[in-house]
A and B are shown apart, each in its own frame.
Chain A
Amino acid sequence: MNPFLVTDCALIVMATGEKAVNIREMTDRIRRMDDPGIMYFHFWDCLLRPAFIDPEYQNDFASWVYHQLHDRRLAERLAILNPGVFSTMDQLRHKLIEIIEDRMDEPGFDQHIESDSPFFFMRSQIIVFDTQVRLESPETMGAYIRDMALGSVFYHFIDARRRTDSGKNDFTEWLWGWGDPYTTLAGELSEIDPYFKSLLEIREQLATVFARHLKEDVSHG
Chain B
Amino acid sequence: MGNQLEQYVAVVGEAVVDQLHRLAKPLKGLRVVHVNSTRQGGGVAEILHWLTPLKRELGLEVSWEVVAGESSFYQCTKKMHNALQGNREDIHPALLRVYEETNARNFERLEDTLTHADIVFIHDPQPAPLLSLCPQRKGKWIWRCHIDASHPYRPVWRYLQRFVEAFDASIYSLPRFAQPMRHPLYIIPPSIDPLSEKNIDLTANEIEKATANYGIDIRRPVICQISRFDWFKDPVGVINAYRLAKGFGPPLQLILAGGTATDDPEGEEVLSAVQKAAEEDPDIHILLLPPDAPRTINALQRMADIVLQKSLKEGFGLTVAEAMWKGKPVIGGDVGGIRIQVVNHFTGFLVNTPEGAALRIRYLLTHKDRLHEMGERARAFILENYLLTRHLRDYLSVILALQSGGRDRITLN
- Whether the pair A150, B384 counts as a contact (CB closer than 8 A) is yes
- Whether the pair A125, B408 counts as a contact (CB closer than 8 A) is yes
Q: Which residues of B sit under 8 angstroms from A128, Cβ to Cβ? A: 409-412
- A129 CB–B CB distance under 8 Å: yes
- Whether the pair A200, B384 counts as a contact (CB closer than 8 A) is yes
Q: Which residues of A sit under 8 angstroms from B68, Cβ to Cβ? A: none
Q: Which residues of B sit under 8 angstroms from A53, Cβ to Cβ? A: 343, 346, 381
- Residue-wise interface mask of A (179-221) relative to B, using a CB-CB cutoff of 8 A (1 in contact, 0 not): 0000000000000000000111000000000000000000000
- Whether the pair A15, B346 counts as a contact (CB closer than 8 A) is no
Q: How far is the CA of A152 from the CA of B142 in the complex (A)?
A: 28
Which residue in chain A gives the minimum CB-CB distance to B172? A15
Which residue in chain A gives the minimum CB-CB distance to B23? A10
- Whether the pair A118, B176 counts as a contact (CB closer than 8 A) is yes
- B29 CB–A CB distance under 8 Å: no
- Whether the pair B22, A129 counts as a contact (CB closer than 8 A) is yes
Name 8 extra pairs, CB < 8 A, besides A13-B186, A128-B412, A150-B384: A12-B398, A15-B178, A17-B179, A37-B408, A117-B339, A118-B176, A122-B175, A123-B408
Q: How far is the CA of A118 from the CA of B180 in the complex (A)?
A: 15
- Whether the pair A14, B393 counts as a contact (CB closer than 8 A) is no
- Residue-wise interface mask of B (1-25) relative to A, using a CB-CB cutoff of 8 A (1 in contact, 0 not): 0000000000001111011001100
Instruction: Sample 23 A-B pairs with CB under 8 A, ordered by A number.
Output: A8-B19, A10-B19, A10-B396, A10-B397, A12-B397, A13-B187, A18-B180, A50-B189, A50-B340, A50-B341, A50-B384, A53-B343, A53-B346, A124-B408, A126-B408, A127-B23, A129-B411, A129-B412, A130-B412, A147-B15, A149-B16, A149-B19, A150-B15
Q: How many residues of A contact B (CB 8 A)?
A: 39
Q: Of the listed stretches B31-39, B252-260, B271-279, B399-407, name the one at the interface; the rest are far from the partner chain.
A: B399-407
- Whether the pair B398, A15 counts as a contact (CB closer than 8 A) is no
Given the known A-B contacts A12-B186, A15-B185, A147-B14, are A125 and B406 also in contact in the complex, defined by CB atoms under 8 Å?
yes
- Residue-wise interface mask of B (165-192) relative to A, using a CB-CB cutoff of 8 A (1 in contact, 0 not): 0000000100110111100111111000
Q: Which residues of B sit under 8 angstroms from A123, Cβ to Cβ? A: 408
Q: Which residues of A sit under 8 angstroms from B409, Cβ to Cβ? A: 125-126, 128
- Whether the pair B384, A151 counts as a contact (CB closer than 8 A) is no
- B63 CB–A CB distance under 8 Å: no
Interface size class on chain B is 35 or more
- Whether the pair B19, A14 counts as a contact (CB closer than 8 A) is no
Which residue in chain B gives the minimum CB-CB distance to A8? B19
Which residue in chain B gives the minimum CB-CB distance to A51? B340
Q: Which residues of A sit under 8 angstroms from B406, Cβ to Cβ? A: 125
Main secondary structure of the interface of A (DSSP, over half): strand
- A100 CB–B CB distance under 8 Å: no
Given the known A-B contacts A8-B22, A14-B185, A14-B187, are A125 and B410 also in contact in the complex, defined by CB atoms under 8 Å?
yes
Q: How far is the CA of A16 from the CA of B340 in the complex (A)?
A: 19
- B385 CB–A CB distance under 8 Å: yes
- Whether the pair B15, A127 counts as a contact (CB closer than 8 A) is no
Q: How far is the CB of B186 from chain A (nearest CB, A)?
A: 6
Q: Which of B19, B184, B385, B397 contacts A50 (CB 8 A)?
A: B385
Q: Which residues of B sit under 8 angstroms from A126, Cβ to Cβ? A: 408-410
Q: Which residues of A sit under 8 angstroms from B187, Cβ to Cβ? A: 13-15, 122
Q: How far is the CA of A123 from the CA of B401 in the complex (A)?
A: 13
- Residue-wise interface mask of A (13-39) relative to B, using a CB-CB cutoff of 8 A (1 in contact, 0 not): 111111100000000000000000100
Q: How far is the CA of A129 from the CA of B178 in the complex (A)?
A: 29
Q: How far is the CB of A53 from chain B (nearest CB, A)?
A: 5
- A120 CB–B CB distance under 8 Å: yes
Q: How far is the CB of A45 from chain B (nearest CB, A)?
A: 12
Q: Which residues of A sit under 8 angstroms from B393, Cβ to Cβ? A: 10
Q: How far is the CA of A122 from the CA of B381 in the complex (A)?
A: 21
Q: Which residues of A sit under 8 angstroms from B22, Cβ to Cβ? A: 8, 129, 131
